Amino acid sequence: MRWKPRGGSMPGTSSPAEGAGVSASGARHPSWQARDRGTGRWLVSGPPLAYLLVFFAIPALIMVVASFTPPGEYGGLAPLFEDGKANLTLEAYERLAGDPIYWEVFAKSVVYAGITTLCCLVLAYPLAMLVARSPRKYRDLLMLLVILPFWSNFLIRVYAWMIILGPQSALSRAVNAVVEPLGFEPVSLLFSSFAVLVGLVYVHLPFMVLPLYANLEKHDPALLDAAQDLGANAWQRFWRVTFPLSLPGVWAGAALVFIPALGIFAIPDILGGTEDTLIGNLIKQQFLETRDWPFGSVLSIVLTAIALALAGLAAWVSRPRRTA
């Protein structure tokens, strides 16, 4: 109802010419814009598409073909065509199907990746929440600290764990100083499943923090006020409001941790003992040591299939539902 006095004519009697001027200069794009939009789009998105095609889709296809090819005499692959007919075999698949030891390695890899994902979630959630609820001016700095480890080489960081977990380390001595007086054998932290898991969690933690933070940071603080106002204590506010709303972030983080952890070979190579062979190590062996490319391809394909199946399962479990 605030108003400022205005002199002159009655409002609402603007001249017809004025009205026409508005519509003439209004919402029509010059024709060159529409014509060139398609070309521009392909110019921008073409290179990354071509990149993915050449370096992802085609190699994946080669791998599928390799899995049906007999191994070459000196490693690699036998020629695809021999004596005028296709040289294809199911040998590699039969070998995988016939030997349970490979399935045990697959199962162990899934378990390790699963434990890694859970540990990362438990560690990353409070961290992401802390950052998301810090004053805005500190958030970028805190997130920078989270990704700071990426600034040093991956292998160097894993080798650092060899020193931290090694028999002469303060940590090992401290553990054994507790364990030995209790009458147990001295334990070796390094070259153990424990070391592998520590390494896996350490390396993958930022991949869980980032999507969780991105999700939590967007939560409307008024929702927590509302929950508290409606009688929810701190735990209920977390469990009934914050956590369900963060599930997309949890799933994104879980995928970013689980899938790489499933195929990783460097960490079990460096930190694991002899029985800590994971599927990544096995695949690496097939290509670099045994030089059995077809079998390595089969293992890779099955690994990809398992990852896809688990991702599909997760998508199904987390599908939107009408629940109260």
Partner 1 sequence: MALLEIRNVTRRFGDFAAVDDVSLAIEAGEFFTLLGPSGCGKTTLLRMIAGFDLPDGGAIVLDGKDLAGDPPERRPVRTVFQSYALFPHMTVAGNVAFPLKMAKVGGAETDRQVWAALEGVQLAGKADRYPHELSGGQKQRVAIARALVTKPRVLLLDEPLAALDAKLREQLQLELINLQKDVGITFVYVTHDQTEALALSHRIAVMNHGRVEQLDEPSRIYGFPRTRFVADFIGHCNLFDGVVAASAPSGGGSLVDLDVAGLGRIRTLTQASVPAGSKGSVAVRPEKVRISSSVTQGADDNHCAGHIRDFLYMGDVTMYVVEATGGQRVEALLANSEAGRTKFFEAGDAVEAAWRFDAGHFIPG
CA distance 263 to 283: 9
Only one of the segments 67-75, 133-141, 217-225, 302-310 lies at the binding site for partner 1 (rule: CB under 8 A); that segment is 217-225
Among the candidate windows 118-126, 152-160, 215-223, 255-263, which touches partner 1 by CB under 8 A? 215-223
Identify which range of 4-12, 58-66, 162-170, 195-203 contacts partner 1 by CB under 8 A.
4-12
Q: Binding partner 1 by CB under 8 A: which of 113, 198, 227, 278?
A: 227
Identify the residue whose tokens are 């001595």: 173
CA dist., res. 295 & res. 109, Å (int):
18
Residue 44 found at the interface with partner 1 (CB under 8 A):
no
- 24 counts as binding partner 1 under rule CB under 8 A: no
In three-state secondary structure terms, 292 is coil
Residue identified by tokens 């400022």 is 4
Going by C-beta distance under 8 Å and a sequence separation of 6 or more, which residues neighbour residue 201? Answer: 116, 119, 120, 123
SS3 86: strand
Beta strands in 52-193 (DSSP E): 81-82, 85-86
Residue 15 or 25 with smaller CB distance to partner 1: 15
Place of tokens 């378990």: 111
| Integer Cα distance of 66 and 88 in angstroms | 9
- Is 228 a binding residue for partner 1 by CB under 8 A? The answer is yes
For partner 1, which residue of 14, 152, 233, 318 counts as binding (CB under 8 A)?
233
Give the containing element (helix H, strand E) for 52.
helix 31-52
CA distance 199 to 320: 34
DSSP assignment of 123-180: HHHHHHHHHHTS-HHHHHHHHHHHHGGGGS-HHHHHHHHHHHHSTTSHHHHHHHHHHG
Q: Does 6 bind partner 1 (CB under 8 A)?
A: yes
240 lies in the binding site for partner 1 (CB under 8 A): yes
214 lies in the site for partner 1, by CB under 8 A: no
The dihedral built from the CA positions of residue 107, 98, 285 and 58, taken in this order, carries a sign that is negative
Site string for partner 1, 241-280 (x = CB under 8 A): x--xx-----------------------------------
**Sequence letter at residue 277:** T
Between 18 and 220, CB nearer to partner 1: 220
Q: How far is the CB of 240 from partner 1 (least distance, A)?
A: 7
Give the CA diameter of the chain: 102
In the complex, minimum distance from the CB of residue 132 to partner 1, in angstroms, rounded to a whole number: 17
Q: Does 5 bind partner 1 (CB under 8 A)?
A: yes
Looking at the Cβ atoms of 65 and 226, the one nearer to partner 1 is 226
50, 64, 226, 315: which one binds partner 1 (CB under 8 A)? 226
Contact status: 218 vs partner 1 (CB under 8 A): no
Residue 21 neighbours by CB distance under 10 Å: 11
Q: How many residues bind partner 1 (CB under 8 A)?
A: 29
Name the residues that contact partner 1, by CB under 8 A: 1, 3, 5-8, 10-12, 220, 222-223, 225-233, 236, 240-241, 244-245, 322-324
